Amino acid sequence: MEQTIKTEELITEKSQLLSLFHGGIKPKSDFKVGIELEKLGVNSSNYTAAPYSGTNGILEFLKKYKKVNNWDYITENNTVLGLIRGCDTVTLEPGSQTELSSCPRDTVHDIADQVKNYNTETAILAEELDIHWIGYGIQPLSIHENIELIPKKRYDIMNEYLPTKGNMALVMMKETAGIQVSLDYGSEDDAAHKLKVLLGLSPIVTAMFANSPIRSGQETGYKTYRAIGWLRTDEIRCGLISRRVFETDFSFNDYVEILLDLPMIFLEKDQNWINMKGITFREYMQHGYEGYQATVEDWNLHRSSFFPYIRLNNYLEIRNCDCQRSELIPAIPALWKGLIYDDNALSTAWNLVKDLTWEQRLELRQLAPKYALDSEINGLKVLDIAKELVNIADYSLKQMAQLNDDGLDESIYLAPLKILIDKGQSPADEILTYWSTNWNKDVRKLIEHVRLI
């Protein structure tokens, strides 16, 4: 039998590094919305993190879920690490956080339906394993030292490398869960402008969806402990990318230049993972490494190790929100779609934050995890900006008028968010109000509040 040999494309010119971004350009009529939903599994008896292995672990859940909907396995060295069906995947983060990555959908209605069905199906299966899924930004009891790292070589290397760059890298890797949204762009200029607006608004939206104030069974002093974990992971790899995004005519080439000077974490060659010990991709392109020369596949892997609030791909990947309880999950794609897919909304939203300096943007990024909607910067109250953003998105989605079978537009998904914001609260504020009163600091009550069923 003839053996198929995988041939990788050597990088010989810079245009190869730019091609993915240019390939993402599409007409507005083809714009879609995608979601990546990470959620946390906890043992139903004691609310500690559900492990990967064991008779009641996440691996057993994957095996059960495969049978329900005819998924195919995603494996590494014959070890099951996820599921795939078409362009939908269910994969695992380092601490067995379980991530649904959805095919791009035409409407938020489609996303809401898919997420509801997914959460219902997986809750039933998890019950058989004494696991509860929760829509929360961080493990409520278990800390990273007590959470099993899944058997994935990429994560072994990250587990070694990232703690040398930030003292909360392992908190981020093993304890946290978020929701990511993907949006399209129509040109290079459109991508650059949307990237600027998304980055400018990201600390505000982080504050709006703050949902991780309790960790290890205690108040942390932060409204989103997940966000502070990202702040203390690897500063050059995370955050606002570069002041150039805000102060110059940013381009695909500028983004590539930033990635070229980003230290590499790993390579995958011949089914083996290689620790790159922090050499930059530019150095790898110039000199090679251990006999290997840079390929497009290496470049794509390197890009995936860049973790800014907004990541440029052949779409824009928005990465800054805690996971949420059921009714607030669709609010995140609805808010971003309403703000970004209408030109008037995009311009109006940008006007709310356009006058901040680079230093003020960095300061707001530090304030948001602790104070959320109570943050203030340059005389601006984050709560006031948040209220404006919800109103802008609400109007925009009504104007788009993409209706579900009941004749309702996508603004319906903003309703639970609007109720919170009108009260001046993030999800974390609501939790903290109950924590010391009705719940009497009982983690079980927190689990009931955020449980995904």
Task: Give 41-65 pLDDT, tens digit per residue.
Answer: 999 999 999 999 999 999 999 999 9
Looking at the DSSP bridge assignments, the partners of residue 79 are 76
Please report the pLDDT score of residue 6 as a whole number. 55
Other residues' Cβ atoms within 10 Å of the Cβ of residue 119: 20
Please report the pLDDT score of residue 5 as a whole number. 41
d(CA 122, CA 40): 12
DSSP conformation letters of 361-395: HHHHHHHHHHHGGG-EETTEEHHHHHHHHHHHHHH
Please report the pLDDT score of residue 4 as a whole number. 38
Kind and range of the H or E run holding 133:
strand 131-134
CATH 3.30.590.20 fits 15-450, yes or no: yes
DSSP conformation letters of 181-212: EEE-BSSHHHHHHHHHHHHHHHHHHHHHT--B
3-state secondary structure of 149: coil
Task: Give 82-123 pLDDT, tens digit per residue.
Answer: 999 999 999 999 999 999 999 999 999 999 999 999 999 999
At 160, which amino acid appears? Answer: E
d(CA 56, CA 129): 5
d(CA 85, CA 114): 14
Q: Where are the domains of the chain?
A: 15-450
d(CA 371, CA 221): 9
- Which token pair is 196? 């600027």
d(CA 52, CA 64): 14
Band of pLDDT at residue 271, cut at 50, 70 and 90? confident
3-state secondary structure of 340: helix
d(CA 443, CA 141): 8
DSSP conformation letters of 424-437: T--HHHHHHHHHTT
pTM attached to this predicted model: 0.96
What is the CA angle 227-338-345, rounded to 5? 105
For all residues of the chain together, what is the average pLDDT? 96
Task: Give 26-45 pLDDT, tens digit per residue.
Answer: 999 999 999 999 999 999 99
Residue 1 has pLDDT above 70, yes or no: no
Please report the pLDDT score of residue 69 as a whole number. 86
Average pLDDT of the segment spanning 443-449: 98
- Which token pair is 284? 């790898």
Residue 7 has pLDDT above 90, yes or no: no
Other residues' Cβ atoms within 10 Å of the Cβ of residue 187: 11
Please report the pLDDT score of residue 2 as a whole number. 35
